[in-house]
Chain A
Amino acid sequence: MTTRTLRAALAASLIASTAVAATARADTMTMWVRASGTNAASTLVNLWNSTHSDKIELTTIPDNQMVTKLATGVQAGEVPDLVSFDLIYMPDFMKAGFLADLTADLKADPNFASVAKAYVDIATYEGKLYGAGFTPDVSILVWNKDLFKKAGLDPDKPPRSVPEIHEDAKKIHALGADTYGFYFSGSCPGCNIFTTSPMMVASGSKILPANGNDDALTGDGVKDVLEQFKEMWSEGLVPKSAQADNGSNFVALFKTGKIGIQGCGGFLISDLKRDVPGMNFGVTFLPGMKDGEVSSFVGGDVVAIPVGSKHVPLAKAFIAWELTDEAQLDGLAKNDILPSRPALADNKYFAADPRIVTTAKALGVGYVPWVYHFADMVNSDSSPWINMLQRAIFDGDVDGAIKEAREKMKAIAAE
C-alpha cells in the first residue's frame, strides 16, 4: 500500500470515527404530553428533531390520566425527561416538589421575558420558576356566519354580551327544529371552566378560592350567566344531547353546521379549516353580561422537567429553544397555534387569518386561576363546579346550586 493510500485510509477512518462518536454522543429524551396537546407539541418536537442530533421521543397520555401518571411516576422514580401538561395543575406539582427549579435558566433567557404573564404566574411558586408556556390555548367564542345570515342577523356582528347570545340563539333556532342557537357540553367540567367561567369572570365574578379563607363564586356574574344558560336550555335553544355530553362532542356538533354560537378553544380554528373548509365562521372574545365586558381562560400546556429526569441539561436546552423565534413561529404559528410570547402574534403566518390574531389577543384579556386541588374543585366528574352547572341549568335551582358549590369549594380549598 502506498503512503498516499495509507494517509487517505487514515483520514477516512478518522472522519468515520468522529461521525460514530458524534452519533454515540447524541441522546434521546423522552417526553410525555397529554392527548389534547399532542398535535401542537408534535409540531415543536418534529421541528426540534429535524434540526438537532439529540432527539425527543413523544408519548401521548390520555388527558384524564396525565396527572395521575405523572404523580405516580415521580413517586416511583419513573419519569420522562420532559413533560407537557395542563398548566392548571402547576400549583399542586410545584408545592409537592415534583418539578425541577428552572429559575436561573429562565431568568437569564431574554425570550422568557416576553412570555405571556399568565404563563409566568402559573409557573411561579414561592418566587421560583418551574416551567414555561409551551402550547398555549385560550378560549374564544365562535359563531356560524352562514346561520347568522339565514336568521337575518348580521354575519359580521358577533354577540357582545351573554343576553345578546341568548337573543341571537333564539333567532337561529327559529330556522328549524334541528338547528340550535347555542351549545355547551353539559357534563364536561373542563369544557365549562374553559368557556363558561370567562363569561362569569368578565361579568365581575371570581370563581375559585385560593385557600380555605378565600371566597368562591363571588359577584353577580355567576348567577346572571347561569340564569341565561338556564333560560336557553328551557327554551330548547341547546340540543338535548348537550346535557349528557362529557366533552366527547365538545366541538363535533358545531362542525355539523347546526349550531349558531359556541364557546371553544383556539384549536377549533385549524380543526374547522381542515374538517369543514366550506364553513364561514367568526371568532371573538367571550363576553360578559354587558357589552364591552370580555375575558378568556388562558390555558394550554406548560413544559417542565420532572424531578428524576435523566437529561436535565438537554431538557433545559429544549425549553430554551422552544421559546426562540424559530420555534414559536416556524413550529407553532406556522401551524395556526398560538405562540406563548404574545409579541409574536403579529407574524406572517397569522396575517392571512385575522381570526387567529383575535385568538392571540384573547391571551391578553384572559385569566388563569392559581389554586390547589383544581381537579377536586373543577375537573372531577363529581366536582362542585359541574354539579353547580347541572343543578342550576338543568334543574333550574340557580341559587341553591351556587350556595352548595361555594361551601364545597371552600371546604376543598381548606384541605
Chain B
Amino acid sequence: MAPALIFVGVFVLIPLGQLIAMSMTDRSLLGGGRFVGFGNYVRIWNDAGFWRALLFTVKYTIVLTPILMILGFGLALLTVDNTPLKRLTRTVAFLPVVIGLSSSSLLWFWLFDEQVGLINKLLTDLRVIAQPIVWFVSADLAFWAVVISITWKVVGFGMVLFIAGIQSINPEIMEAAVVDGARYWARVSRIILPLSRRIILLTTLISAIGSMLAFDQFYIMTSGGPRGQTFTAVYWIYQNSFVSFKLGYGAALSIVLTLIILAFSTLQIALTARSEAK
C-alpha cells in the first residue's frame, strides 16, 4: 500500500497541487507571476473562445465515441474466433494503434491534401466527386476528416478490448444457447452484449476521455482552423499556455477541464451502475 501511495503522491497529488497553486497566479512562461486568487477562473467564465472550444470537443466526443464502439464491437464479433485468418485480420486492424498519433495525423493530413492527396484521387477516379474537395476549408469537412483519421487509428484498440470481453464469456452459456435454438443475432443481443457490459463501459470511458483530451490530431491536421472553429479544449489550453505564455491561466483552464471530465465520467459510471441494478 505504501509504495502505491508514494507513487500516487509523487506523480499525481504533488503535480496536481502545483497546478492548482499556479492557477491562482498570473505566471508567465517568460517568468514572473503574482497571486490573483480566483481571477483566472472568473476570466474563464467570460472566455468565449474556451467555451466554443469545449462545445466543439463535446460534439467531437459525442460523434466519435459511438462510431468507435460500434465499429470496434463489430470487428470484434467478426474476428473473435481464433482461426489463422481472423488472427491475421485482428493484427492488421490493430496495426494503426501502434503508430504514434502525430505520425498518423501527419499521414492523414497529406492523404486529405487537395492537390496531392490520395483521398481526392480515389474519390475522383471512382466518380464520387467531380472536383477535388478542399477538406480543411470548411469546419464540417475538417471535422469529418479528423474523425475518419482517428477511427482508422483507434478502432483496433476497442476491438482488442471487446474480443477479450467476448472470449471471457463462459463457452457453456453460448453452447446452451445454440442448443436452445438461439440464432446468431439473438446470442449477440441476449448474451454477448449484456455480459460485455463492463468492458463496453470501460471502452466507452477510455474513448470518451481520450476524445475530450484531443489535441495532436487537430493541431497537425487543422491548426484549429478554419477561423478557430476546430480548436479543442486542450488546444485552447496549449494556445494560452505556450503561445500566449499565460501559464497561470492555462493551469486554471486545465483544472476546469479536469473537473468537467471528472463530472462526465462519474455521471456515466453512475448511469451504467443504475441500469445494471435494474
Contact = CB atoms under 8 A, between A and B. Distances in A.
Given A244-B226, A387-B227, A379 B243 contact: yes
Interface string B134-155: 1111000010000000000000
Given A244-B142, A375-B245, 8 more contacts: A71-B30, A187-B136, A240-B137, A241-B114, A244-B135, A244-B225, A246-B225, A382-B231
15 contacts: A75-B31, A92-B30, A93-B30, A97-B31, A98-B31, A241-B137, A243-B137, A244-B136, A244-B142, A249-B113, A252-B115, A253-B115, A380-B244, A381-B223, A381-B225
A376 interface: yes
Specify the main secondary structure of chain A where it touches its partner: helix
A376 B249 CA distance: 14
Contacts of A243: 134, 137, 226
Interface string A366-397: 00000001011001111000010011000000
A241 B29 contact: no
Interface string B48-84: 0100000000000000000000000000000000000
Nearest to A71: B29
A157 interface: no
Interface in A96-114: 96-98
Given A241-B114, A375-B243, A376-B244, A187 B29 contact: no
Interface in A35-92: 67-68, 71-72, 75, 92
B216 to A, nearest CB: 13
Contacts of B227: 387, 390-391
Nearest to B28: A96
Contacts of A75: 29, 31
Given A376-B243, A379-B243, A380-B244, A68 B225 contact: no
B35 interface: no
Contacts of A149: none
B242 A187 contact: no
Given A68-B242, A240-B114, A240-B137, A381 B30 contact: no
A380 B228 CA distance: 10
Interface of B: 29-31, 49, 109, 113-115, 134-137, 142, 223-228, 231, 239, 242-245
B106 to A, nearest CB: 10
A96 B30 contact: yes
A380 B137 contact: no
Given A75-B31, A92-B30, A93-B30, A380 B243 contact: yes
Nearest to B244: A376
A269 B64 CA distance: 45
A376 B242 CA distance: 10
A95 interface: yes
A382 B29 CA distance: 19
A297 B115 CA distance: 29
